[in-house]
Structure 1
Amino acid sequence: MVHSGGEIMNYVTVDAYRIGEFPFWFHQIWTTGLQLLIALAIVFHAVRLATIAAVAAIILTVLCSIPLAKLQHKFQTKLIGVQDGRLKDSSEALVNMKILKLYAWENHFKNVIENLRKVEYRWLSGVQLEKAYHSLLFWSTPFLVFSATFGTCYFLGVPLHANNVFTFIATFRLLQDSITSFPDVIGVFIQAKVAFARIAKFLEAPELQRANIQQNCNRERDSNSMSIKSADFTWEDKSSNPSLRNINLELRAGEKVAICGEVGSGKSTLVSAILGEVPKIEGSIKISGKISYVSQIAWIQNGTIQENILFGSAMDSERYGEILEKCSLVKDLELLPYGDLTEIGERGVNLSGGQKQRVQLARALYQNADIFLLDDPFSALDAQTATSLFNEYFLGALSEKTVLLVTHQVDFLPAFDSVLLMSDGKILQEGPYHGSVASSKEFQDLVNAHKETAESLFTQLLNSLFHAPMSFYDSTPLGRILSRVSSDLSTIDLDVPFGLIFTVSSTINACSSLLVLAVVTWQVLIVSIPMIFLSVRLQRYYFASAKELMRINATTKSSVANHLAESLAGATTIRAFQKEDRFFSKSLDLIDTNASPFFHSFAANEWLIQWIEIVSATVLSSAALCMVLLPPRTFSSGFIGMALSYGLSLNNSLVRSIQKQCEESRPSTDWPAVGKVEVEDLQVRYRPNAPLVLCGISCTFEGGHKIGIVGRTGSGKTTLTGALFCLVEPAAGKITVDVIDISTIGLHDLKSRLGIIPQDPTLFNGTVRYNLDPLSQYCDQETWEVIGKSQLQEALQEKGKGLESLDRSVIIVEHRIPTVMDCNMVLAISDGRLVEYDTPTTLMKREDSLFGQLVKE
């Protein structure tokens, strides 16, 4: 992908809003120019030829600002690029926060982001410095114009009287606010120009060429549901080595085909190619019928279970109930507080891996498609649920549908019409199951391998995010967090510093203007004091409304970011179900919702300006009236002119002033030495008022033993592992490792001493070496040993020696029973309660054993 998810998030939450704000500032460009022309005409009437000096001073100021603007543009472009990198890494870390906490990598990734922030700060300093130079230049413009004009008047012999001096000064006093704010206009223009160029580059990026696939969604299908002939596919443009080569495949209507092969053989890529996600460089592909898709890693929307299953389709209660039954979801929904109307968090974090996968299967079935593409949907399910689903879902509900299933579970293969064996991006073997086993050594090796075993693996802001408990990430939408580290941080960086400067300077100017007026005519205080009181009341009234509008704006903007992050994560599923228009329409609705408080914030700001100018005009009019009523010769005309000129700038200073104001103990180094884990009456719930997920589990894992944890989907196996790593806080009970209560030691110490292979595989941006050892703690030899042990040397075209871990305590959460048979002890869980805990052999002998039932299934 040319543009990462973090960059796209920046385009939407930062760049698009900068372009949206530019029209507000754009009008100041031509209005300032028009005001300047009118002012020069008035000045010419007052000082005649000396006006040329004023024009020359203004032109000189503009010429001096050009190189500064170019530098600011350069720095702004660099700054945005660095911000993209920081947001990309921040997004990656936040999305995979559970993995970082499991491996105790929070500090490392926090340091990486802090280093990126330091680089960003250097460019930010450059941008702000150039902006400061601009401000200094334009703020000094009135002084330069006054000096040049009066000096020219002296040399040309133009008489300077109180009337023409007052006219000249008063005219430029009225222009002073427009001139001093011109650096802001230039800065906004540069930011909008950079943002527009970045968005234009994104919009000009190559589109996904789905037109290469001939798809007929008519129900009246051809005899073939799918036909692929001599096709080559590649993820990378202009690649000399295609990801899939010479693919030939024909599926008749109603045919069931399984795809098998080693890890990395191209199975998921083939499914993606059929969906149009992988560019085709050779051959043809034709599809007849509507497609439903189930991804390998479950994608769940933020919403209710019912909304996830319907996925925008109309409710058919009878059919909906049948699908829940066929997807084995009825029992799970009975355990949830509101059944299928239960709100599930972003990425479905309230559900187990198996439950999320079954919601996906129900969503696919409800769409009533003709062709079903299923990418290893049974991997997260226990044996009984998988068998039940296969019988009810695959052999029942999909009996008349065309199905292409990627699977590693060879027990189901005899039920398929045909089996594809893939290797190194090619279809190595195609044919019926028994024929494939008899004629292909590779297929036989694959089946035997699966029978024996299965595969298993900003300082305060960053500190808060990286040390926040997992419950924070479970309940807080990712878009809201990303909004904090993107647009909100940008506001703090660019707007707050100059806002503070303007607040202080405008307050001082307003006070000094009032002081000068009061010295000349103390009677003006009679009007000024009530007006000051009125201004304070207006400020408080405005502040309450403006703060709420800004809060609503931030909340609705987070919804836009959250929906975008969710759409990016499930883009393949959305395109597979052809729901792009629905998600695009929802994005527009969210943007429109956000535009309302965004617009009203500007409207409220203009309302404040209007009222403050009325207050300022009242004070100035009162001062002028008092001066007229004073006895003759009380003050000189020059002194009165100076007072009025200060009064003319009162409204601008007052507006700016009020506007801107509205803004532990440690274990020993060799801990754990034995690896003995004791669980005592452990009770866990995910939220304070939620039901218990683990209900009083007590057991002991001896050091050096292998413990298998089994149970049906949603029984609490993963929660027990999460409690061991302190991802969830126990409601009662405790866990001790080598006699030390894990709640009494630092989280980093705990997680850095324990190892885990997570249920969902995660890869970070970078090299294979970086993904294996992001903290750079191990040498090359140790790294290659692990690569060899993991059977990755073939993919990397290198060899490895291997790494033994027989002296470690190993806890395995597993659905595949053959893997658990090699363990010393087996722990069986059901509905969050410990059912049995003994050796596999002993449990197998018991007639009522849950483990024994799972083995038989």
Structure 2
Amino acid sequence: MAGKNDPEVKYRQMTRNKRPPDERNQRGMRTLSYHEAVDFRSLDMRYDENGLIDPVGRIEAGMPLDVGCTDYRKKEWKYKDSAKTLIPIRPKPKQPSVNPLDDAGLLSFMTYSWLTPLVKMASKSKLTLENVWQHSPLDRADNNYKRFERLWKEEVERVGMKKASLPRTIWRFTRTRMLMSYLTIMICMIGAFLGPAFVIRNLLIYAESREVDWPLGVGLVIAMFVTEMSRSVFFATTWSLSYRSATRVLGAVLTLIFTKITRLRSLKDKTVGELVNLCANDGQRLFEATAFFILMCGAPLVFVLGFCYVFYLIGPASLIGCSMFILFYPFQAGISRLTSRLRRQCIKITDRRVRTMNEILTCVKLIKMYAWEMAFGKAVGAVRSDERKVLEKAAYVQSFSISTSPLVPVMASILTIVLHVMTGNDLTASQAFSLLPAFNCMNFCIRPLPHCVKALSESSVALERLKSLLEMEEMKPFTTRPSDPTNTIEITKATFAWDTTRTEDEEEAGDSGTAPVVHGKTEKVPLTKEGAESEEDLVKTLINIELELPKGTLTGVCGSVGSGKSSLISGILGQMRLLEGTVGLTGSIAYVAQQAWIMNASVRDNIMFGEDFDEQRYEDTVRTCSLTHDFNVLPAGDLTEIGERGLNLSGGQKQRISLARAVYSNRDIYLLDDPLSAVDAHVGQHIFHHCIMGALKDKTVLFVTHQLQYLHLCEQVVLMKDGVIAEKGEHSQLMAAGEDYARMIQGYMTSHCDEETGEESDGEEEMEQVNNIKGGKLMRQSSKDAQRLKRLSAVVSTTSIADNGEVLVVEEEEEEDLSGNLVANEEVESGSIGWATFSDYFRAGGGYLLSALVLLTFVLSVGSMVFGNFWLSLWLRQGSGNTTITVGNKTVISNSIRHHPDLHFYSLVYGMSIILVMVMITIKGLSFMKFTLRASSNLHDKVFRSVFRSPMSFFDTTPTGRILNRFSKDLDEVDVRLPFQAEMFLQNSCLLLFSIAMVAYALPYFLIAIVPLAVVFLYIRNFSGSALRELKRLENVSRSPWFCHLTATIQGLATIHAYNKTEETVNRFLALLDQNTMIQFVFHCAMRWLAVRLDLITVTMSTITALLVVVMHGSVPPAMAGLALSSVIQMTGLFQFTVRLSSETEARFTSVQRINSYIK
């Protein structure tokens, strides 16, 4: 009887209840099992760019099933869902969408209020994957991938693959949303300009005047509130559009890359570590570039408006100030090019390091067995040292770029004012302190440029790497139908060659005459002549192959190591390049690789491999493959989870599970690559007689083996030698011929006549392996010869070694886990980042004293920038210094600063502050760069040593993808992103504190308003802090599963191709990717949710400051009013940006926390 998880049962439930059971209870995502991730997507809603298209989607929409898809699409407007968002307030629907964003009105969309329920939930309890919504159907990776793939194919067809542009395709993919983002950023920039240009100037003129005009003053205060609020809301809207566009681009591009990987014949020079790094880090760069790109578009408009305004305000002297902004753009362009070059260098070295780590983790048992830890540690250390040199250069360039952004308006205002005064012009408070906000407004436009430049430069490198993968040749079928209908396989005069490199699933150890390819490792093996580019230059591996396999026959293939036995199977599978001849094939294929490919899933899932469950067929398969006794001992039977690559199983167990997968698939053709090599004699006899000659008796079987005692039972025997078929025919005929085959059989029988009686039972060893699973006892004997050493290397355990070298018994005290889950879900810590994490980072960077000194450099560098405004207000308050001048026949006291006797002194101090700023910025950048690099390097070394010293049980229960996640994404966070975020946070924090101090200095009554605003701020910060931390942790955790799936897919490409399981593999990737990108999107939206509410605080502060200037008319000097208004307007956007940076910096520290979890 079909179970409740059967896809058909789920479909019937959906049609009966209108919604899937999970959606009726909660609209959250959850951790998906292998089959749920594959099957459940087929029951979900499907959209394309025209709307809802599948039956289940029509059920969800309350439409009849007989509505044709084409007719429905004709009735739907392309932007129907987007247009609904323009409704200011939308009532709550009776049947909510899977994502509340789809039901949000305009006000909710602009202020992120649709996210408030999740933020509230996070403030009360720990967030889990089930609490986070599913993706909107419009944002899912599969729907966006289909559209992006179509656009990419159009691009390739139009200009060719070499000239095809990924950036141009991304622009076509996102241009509608980009244009909407451009519209909102323009409105934001205009609002940001109107405040400083008109409101502040008129407030200062009002402060300078002797008359009190209350209606005018109140009107100016209201105008201040409106302009600042419009800037904040439309800026948030821009981010909302940009983040959603970036999420769609990320899902589409990563799916395009993954599907490309599944279509490759071979990986050539690409390795597992490089591909993981490409999808993880380069994909994130692409996300950031798409999100930040629009911020660069608004800068030119505001710059033109600002230039016209300051020229009107000051005159020709403004040209020197505006030239600083003009020079800043080519400067940033140079920084961009330099960053791109350094990023390219760093990525190459990072790929080497991640690739080396992948190889180490794959072969960790052998490394530990032979005590090679020190040698491999030195190899990783050497690569890390090269990486650190490039990171050091990139960090200094990055620090310089961050520091110059706030420096530009300071230099522009100082040079403009000094030149204006020194050329004999007068300067009033309304002029000076209207100039500063105008320059700050222009700086508001260039402030994101370091982010944009960094993101765009890094994404350009990422896109080059992504395109290089897309340019790789895909696996093209070359098989035809056999000319003889009685044949299942028919190879005629075929010559095959390998591409430049191959993976372990493509070739058996030694077939190329080179070092063996270790399972799970992509070994680079040169297989072309030097400088070879065409097919004619490829080294021919199999030459002039003539072979026919009639239906229902058993054909044995033998030969020495490197003779081409496994290459013959790879050629049939299409993994090699066919240079000459034809390959005829009819029927479905099952493949058993020599190195068994095992998924990190249950035993049953590995056997079923996406097929429907048939109880009788399943039991017969288990029995014929000699797995019954294993299932009786396993903690949860066949539901016991297998570790990644089957590390907790013996070689024989892995091979029998791989064989069971082939038998259960019930295919027409079976390609068995030495399936008995890892099992002992009596188990091999059982498998051969009951499985190969029993269950597969009516199938076409190509049986590659080194167990020559079984060849006499084959209907046809093939002897491979140096890539050609040396002999073929029946066993008796070949023996009678007395050639190489006969001599090989005779030699084999002579050397193995007594081997079976003296051979140790592998069955006992395999039962001991079962005890490696959590809850068992670990018992095994030491190896006696080199042949047994290979098998012993598969044993995973925590052992003690006595002085005599015996491996002693180790008892595990843990209770038996009857669930059978070997690999637990990654632990998600809740709560704020503990002081211990920060303390560990400070100690890794050089200690508390050095940390305090680095912080002091930030205070001094920002203080030197603020000093200029303070000195200017002091200068303007001095006026003429009571200097008298003669006007006509009268002597009066001048009010102009140009008549002050110490004019040159004030001008000199004001001008020299630029040099002080530049010196302090340089010191700050160097010290911070050295500190953060030392911290990341020490953390890397510690986590590497800790992982290397871990017991084998750790590698049993921890997927390689999860460990690689620490050494790729998490370490990248600590190397690059954490220093970038932390430096901006510290710099802006100091600037914010100095700005508040300046306002309080000029208007002491402002401190009264600070207290309630501080209370509101702390409430909002604490209220949202839990959500930000939890979402960042969930994003980190949800990333590991698709890392693992990507790694496993690359390692098992040959098996996936043979079983034609590409679609199921892609579907599982889509489910895991959607889970991760949804949490990432919600995390960024939560950051903007906080930003909008903090902006409301800064708008209130600006309004209160303007109100104090109006109310205290006559009692506040115009210079002090100007200092207060210019300082508070500087906090516009800066306050929320700084608080958001604090949250992002804390979120980045989760990577430090995750690395520390492997250290302690």
Q: Calculate the TM-score normalised by the size of structure 1.
A: 0.74
Asked if the contact 1:408/1:450 (under 8 Å) is kept, the reply is no
The one-letter amino acid paired with 1:46 is L
Q: In the superposition, relative to structure 1, how do residues 547 and 440 fare at CA in structure 2: closer, same or farther (>3 Å)?
A: farther
Whole-angstrom CA distance in 2 between matches of 1:258 and 1:566? 30
Asked if the contact 2:272/2:355 (under 8 Å) is kept, the reply is yes
The residue aligned with 1:549 is 1031
Residue 649, structure 1, aligned to residue 1134, structure 2: no
Asked if the contact 1:260/1:406 (under 8 Å) is kept, the reply is yes
The residue aligned with 1:412 is 710
Q: CA deviation at 1:156?
A: 6.4
Deviations 1:197-228 (A, max 9, x none): 111111112223x3222269xxx992110111
Q: CA deviation at 1:571?
A: 0.8
Asked if the contact 2:1003/2:1124 (under 8 Å) is kept, the reply is no
- Alignment of structure 1 residues 176-195 onto 2, 5 Å: 176-195=443-462
Asked if the contact 1:221/1:288 (under 8 Å) is kept, the reply is no
The residue aligned with 2:365 is 98
Residue 141, structure 1, aligned to residue 408, structure 2: yes
Q: CA deviation at 1:159?
A: 4.3
Whole-angstrom CA distance in 1 between matches of 2:406 and 2:996? 21
Asked if the contact 1:353/1:380 (under 8 Å) is kept, the reply is yes
Q: CA deviation at 1:534?
A: 2.1
The one-letter amino acid paired with 1:232 is T
SS of 1:14 mapped into structure 2 = helix
The residue aligned with 1:153 is 420
Q: How many residues are paired up?
A: 658
Asked if the contact 1:2/1:205 (under 8 Å) is kept, the reply is no
Q: 1:274 aligns with which of 552, 569, 572?
A: 572
The one-letter amino acid paired with 2:477 is A
Q: CA deviation at 1:359?
A: 1.1
Asked if the contact 1:72/1:126 (under 8 Å) is kept, the reply is no
The residue aligned with 2:1095 is 613
Q: 1:343 aligns with which of 633, 641, 658?
A: 641
Which fold has the larger relative contact order, with Cα–Cα distance below 8 Å and residues 6 or more apart in sequence? 2
Deviations 1:559-609 (A, max 9, x none): 111000010111110000011111112112211111101101110111111
The residue aligned with 1:234 is 497
The residue aligned with 2:169 is none
Deviations 1:464-494 (A, max 9, x none): 2211111111111111111111111111111
Asked if the contact 1:421/1:429 (under 8 Å) is kept, the reply is yes
Whole-angstrom CA distance in 2 between matches of 1:232 and 1:74? 43
Residue 540, structure 1, aligned to residue 803, structure 2: no
The residue aligned with 2:307 is 40
The one-letter amino acid paired with 1:211 is P
Whole-angstrom CA distance in 2 between matches of 1:514 and 1:54? 25
The residue aligned with 2:329 is 62
The one-letter amino acid paired with 1:214 is T
Residue 439, structure 1, aligned to residue 737, structure 2: yes
- Alignment of structure 1 residues 358-377 onto 2, 5 Å: 358-377=656-675
- Alignment of structure 1 residues 673-822 onto 2, 5 Å: none
Residue 581, structure 1, aligned to residue 1063, structure 2: yes
The one-letter amino acid paired with 1:80 is I
SS of 1:578 mapped into structure 2 = coil
The one-letter amino acid paired with 2:978 is V
Q: CA deviation at 1:246?
A: 1.2
Asked if the contact 1:329/1:358 (under 8 Å) is kept, the reply is yes
SS of 2:1133 mapped into structure 1 = helix
Q: In the superposition, relative to structure 1, how do residues 626 and 139 fare at CA in structure 2: closer, same or farther (>3 Å)?
A: closer
Q: CA deviation at 1:293?
A: 0.3
Asked if the contact 1:233/1:279 (under 8 Å) is kept, the reply is yes
Q: CA deviation at 1:450?
A: 3.1
Whole-angstrom CA distance in 2 between matches of 1:177 and 1:534? 25
Q: CA deviation at 1:258?
A: 0.3
The one-letter amino acid paired with 1:207 is E
The one-letter amino acid paired with 1:90 is M
Asked if the contact 1:76/1:191 (under 8 Å) is kept, the reply is yes
SS of 2:298 mapped into structure 1 = helix
Q: 1:214 aligns with which of 472, 480, 486?
A: 480
Q: In the superposition, relative to structure 1, how do residues 108 and 541 fare at CA in structure 2: closer, same or farther (>3 Å)?
A: farther
Asked if the contact 2:587/2:669 (under 8 Å) is kept, the reply is yes
Q: 1:527 aligns with which of 966, 990, 1009?
A: 1009
Residue 478, structure 1, aligned to residue 741, structure 2: no
The residue aligned with 1:2 is 269
The one-letter amino acid paired with 2:944 is L
Q: CA deviation at 1:366?
A: 1.4
The one-letter amino acid paired with 1:419 is V
Whole-angstrom CA distance in 1 between matches of 2:301 and 2:971? 36
Asked if the contact 1:221/1:289 (under 8 Å) is kept, the reply is no
Q: CA deviation at 1:46?
A: 2.1
Q: CA deviation at 1:403?
A: 0.4
SS of 1:243 mapped into structure 2 = strand
The one-letter amino acid paired with 2:404 is L
Asked if the contact 1:262/1:446 (under 8 Å) is kept, the reply is no
The one-letter amino acid paired with 1:295 is A
Q: CA deviation at 1:152?
A: 4.6
Q: 2:610 aligns with which of 302, 312, 316?
A: 312
SS of 1:495 mapped into structure 2 = helix
The one-letter amino acid paired with 1:258 is G
Moved more, 381-390 or 50-59: 50-59
Q: 2:723 aligns with which of 416, 422, 425?
A: 425
Asked if the contact 1:296/1:377 (under 8 Å) is kept, the reply is yes
The one-letter amino acid paired with 1:365 is V
The one-letter amino acid paired with 1:212 is F
Q: In the superposition, relative to structure 1, how do residues 51 and 500 fare at CA in structure 2: closer, same or farther (>3 Å)?
A: same
SS of 1:343 mapped into structure 2 = coil
Asked if the contact 2:554/2:702 (under 8 Å) is kept, the reply is yes
Q: CA deviation at 1:631?
A: 5.3
Whole-angstrom CA distance in 2 between matches of 1:77 and 1:449? 56
The residue aligned with 2:291 is 24
Q: CA deviation at 1:533?
A: 2.4
Deviations 1:439-485 (A, max 9, x none): 24422332244331599343112102211111111111111111111
Whole-angstrom CA distance in 2 between matches of 1:466 and 1:420? 45
SS of 1:351 mapped into structure 2 = coil
Whole-angstrom CA distance in 2 between matches of 1:68 and 1:526? 44
Whole-angstrom CA distance in 1 between matches of 2:379 and 2:1082? 39
SS of 1:259 mapped into structure 2 = strand
Asked if the contact 2:295/2:448 (under 8 Å) is kept, the reply is no
The one-letter amino acid paired with 1:321 is E
Structure 2 unaligned runs (5+)?
1-267, 500-527, 529-534, 756-785, 791-939, 1146-1160
RMSD (CA atoms):
2.0
Deviations 1:698-724 (A, max 9, x none): xxxxxxxxxxxxxxxxxxxxxxxxxxx
The one-letter amino acid paired with 2:485 is D
Q: CA deviation at 1:279?
A: 1.1
Asked if the contact 1:72/1:127 (under 8 Å) is kept, the reply is yes
The one-letter amino acid paired with 2:496 is F
Whole-angstrom CA distance in 2 between matches of 1:215 and 1:156? 91
Residue 203, structure 1, aligned to residue 470, structure 2: yes
Q: Calculate the TM-score normalised by the size of structure 2.
A: 0.55
Whole-angstrom CA distance in 1 between matches of 2:1089 and 2:396? 32
Residue 507, structure 1, aligned to residue 979, structure 2: no
Asked if the contact 1:257/1:404 (under 8 Å) is kept, the reply is yes
Higher helix residue share: 2
Deviations 1:279-310 (A, max 9, x none): 11111111111110000011111111111111
Higher strand residue share: 1
Q: 1:658 aligns with which of 1139, 1147, 1152?
A: 1139
The one-letter amino acid paired with 2:979 is P
Q: 2:1120 aligns with which of 639, 646, 657?
A: 639
